[in-house]
A and B are shown apart, each in its own frame.
Chain A
Amino acid sequence: MKPPRFDYARPDSLAGAIALLAAHNGDAKVIAGGQSLMPMLNFRLTSPRLLVDIARIADLNHISAGADGVRLGALVRWRDIERHPTLAKLHPLLVEATSHVAHYQIRNRGTVGGSLAHADPAAEMPGIAIACDAQIIVVGRAGQRTIPAADFFVGALMTALEPDEVIVEVRLPPWPGERHFAFEEFSRRKGDFALAGVAVFYDLDGQGRVIDPHIGAIGVTSRPVRLNAAEAALAGRAVDEAAILAVAALADDGLDVAEDIHAPADYRRALLQVLLERALRRAARLPDAEQTQ
């Protein structure tokens, strides 16, 4: 048995969970699906004194959609997103990104809230939250607050969550039916964390020019980021091959790209550009140049 010693509690209410977290003042961890936390414990990368299992707290696994967008309860599992009857229409980018999350056994247990709280720089859900300007609803002793995704991810595996706070919901803004979008990522083996990934979406005006482009990237820096230079270059343009190459060339502009055991920084920069090209082509419904050559 590898994990360091910990105690385990399974409160049946949110208030109970918050009370336990508060009482341990940073020395307790929330567990739900455990698909990120269990490996962390097994590798002894974290050693909380208490695990607070929120998996059986009622009313945290809702998926709802309305005029204000899509709301996902913290305990929504990846399989719930994939198997939802209407989410593929209501938020196709979310559903497409979810299909890249690990393997199906893991998608059967892993949760939306867990992925956000774990904040792996290469994880899909934090990338979607950043790309879509999601709002993350958390509850703690002081009550409920809403954290914009841009303020939520502080660094690798670090978030704006206070020690006594639990994520209860993530809200994604409304998704117009005609929106252009694509999600692309690359990993050496299917199901591994991505070496890099991009999420792209935009709308078109009456002349076929891009309005309000959103481009998010995962795996390249210590936290998911928006590619501001590429977004600025894409705005107002018609998306043709020349525009795609010009925008993709700016993919890594101004980014502090991470180098680690998996890939040198230059490799990640090149990969990011290629992935952005592919995503832009697919979003514009243009043929993939690499396949048509």
Chain B
Amino acid sequence: MSNNRASFTPSRRKFLMTTASSAAGPVIARAFTGEARAQSAPRNQREPVGVRLEVNGHVQDLSLDVRTTLLDALREHLGLTGSKKGCDQGQCGACTVLVDGRRVLGCLTLAASVDGRSITTIEGLTSPGQELHPMQQAFVDQDAFQCGYCTSGQIMSAIGCVHEGHAENDADIREYMSGNLCRCAAYPNIVAAIKQAKAATQSRLASKET
């Protein structure tokens, strides 16, 4: 196990390779999960910690600097760059992902603190060649973005918003999407997209898909 951890070098290509092989089947050993670490004696702070995340349905065992945020773990260690780093201080919402189905900010969440949890990112909504998630399709149909930088955060937040029951009317949608900024100001179209996709997103949830 320790060999695996030592050989884990921070190059993006390797991360992508790790991701690909993990998708085929978990490769890195399961030994260094949170349980073992929870009550551990003081250790060298530079020693990486093991974090297990279920990302878009695939179990990922990562060896991380303990300071790594969920957003950095996704982007830098798993090559999932759909979640964006806008402000890195919890103001813009571009890093919104779902943790156990609830929308949270990846930049304000330590990866270690969501050890063992299930994460859904924009990449997990559909696969290449498959139909888009209804919320993605609605953003396309309603022209709900211009530059697109905030869009993955908007879409993940919108799905969370619908799941919570916070998309009952325009005012509700504006209120509960207020944590997602769009510098292109596509807001009216974002509201329209959420209204379009609401029913289909709810029925997906009912049928246990995301």
Bound CA span A35–B104, Å: 10
Interface centre among A12, A31, A105 (most CB of B within 10 A): A105
State the Cβ distance, B92 to closest chain A Cβ, in Å: 10
Q: Which of B40, B66, B109, B157 is close to A34, meaning CB atoms less than 8 Å apart?
A: B109
Q: Does A11 contact B108, Cβ atoms closer than 8 Å? A: no
Please state if A34 and B43 are interface contacts (CB–CB under 8 Å).
no
Q: A155 an interface residue at 8 Å Cβ cutoff?
A: no
Name the interface residues of B76-110: CB closer than 8 Å to any CB of A: 88-90, 93, 96, 102-105, 107-110
In the complex, the answer to whether B110 meets A12 with C-beta atoms within 8 Å is: no
CA distance A38 to B88 in the complex (A): 10
**Contacts A1-B67, A7-B43, A7-B45 given; does A105 touch B105 at CB 8 Å:** yes
User: Closest chain B residue to A2 by CB distance?
Assistant: B88
Answer whether A105 and B88 are a contact pair too, CB < 8 Å, given A1-B67, A8-B66. Answer: no
Mark interface residues in B95-133 (1 if CB within 8 Å of A CB, else 0).
Answer: 010000011110111101101000000000000000000
- Asked whether, in the complex, the Cβ of A11 is within 8 Å of the Cβ of B39, the reply is yes
From A1, A8, A34, A191, B179 is in contact (CB under 8 Å) with A191
A9 to B39, Cβ gap below 8 A? yes
Query: Chain B interface residue count: which class?
Result: 35 or more
Q: Check A105–B96 contact: CB distance below 8 A.
A: yes
Within 8 A of A (CB), among B42-59: 42-43, 45-46, 49
Asked whether, in the complex, the Cβ of B39 is within 8 Å of the Cβ of A34, the reply is: no
| In the bound complex, CA of A10 to CA of B116 (Å) | 13
Instruction: Tell whether A8 pairs with B110 under 8 Å between CB atoms, given A105-B104, A108-B104.
Output: yes
Query: Measuring CB to CB, which residues of chain B are less than 8 angstroms from any residue of chain A?
Result: 34, 37-40, 42-43, 45-46, 49, 65-69, 72, 88-90, 93, 96, 102-105, 107-110, 112-113, 115, 157, 160-161, 164, 166, 175-176, 178-180
Q: Spell out A's residues near B (CB within 8 Å).
A: 1-3, 5-12, 16, 31, 34-35, 38-39, 41-43, 49, 51, 53, 55, 79, 102-106, 108-109, 190-191
**Which 3 residue pairs spanning A and B have beta carbons closest together?**
A103-B179, A38-B108, A190-B178
